[in-house]
Amino acid sequence: MATYNFTPKNIYDAEFDLKMRGYDKDQVNELLDQVIVDYETFQDEILSLKEETEFLKKKIQKLETTPHVAVSENTQRFNPITSSITEEVTSGARVTMKSANNFDLLKRLNRLERAVFGPQAQPVTSTVETETAE
């Protein structure tokens, strides 16, 4: 971390030697007062930015660990739904050979799997699709 040569207090307490033909003491004091105000503003800004940085680092760390839990919970919540739909579709395909209805169910199942697991989900293939293709 950088070290500072002056603090507002150091600037305020600074003493200057008086010489003949020197600078106007009032102008120097006025300028130094403005510098002190700037230093105090900068210190406040630095402090608030450090606090914000710490807060955001903690928030990032928390968010990096949280999503894994949320994804896991959603997967566990939808697993029974998708497995029951899959069972219904496969048992319905075996019992009745209504190709149009089964094909619609498979389409719906495929859309549901994509919605739940994302576009990388593998489509469900069954004998109904091969029979309707013939």
pLDDT in tens, the chain (134 residues): 567 777 888 888 888 777 777 888 888 888 888 888 888 899 999 999 999 999 999 998 888 887 665 555 556 666 666 667 776 666 655 555 556 566 777 888 888 888 777 766 555 555 544 444 54
Domain boundaries, the chain: 8-133
- Does the pTM surpass 0.75? The reply is no
Q: Report d(CA 103, CA 100) in Å as an integer.
A: 5
User: Is 64:56 a contact under the CB 8 Å cutoff?
Assistant: no
Q: Give Cα 105 to chain centroid, integer Å.
A: 37
| pLDDT at residue number 7 | 80
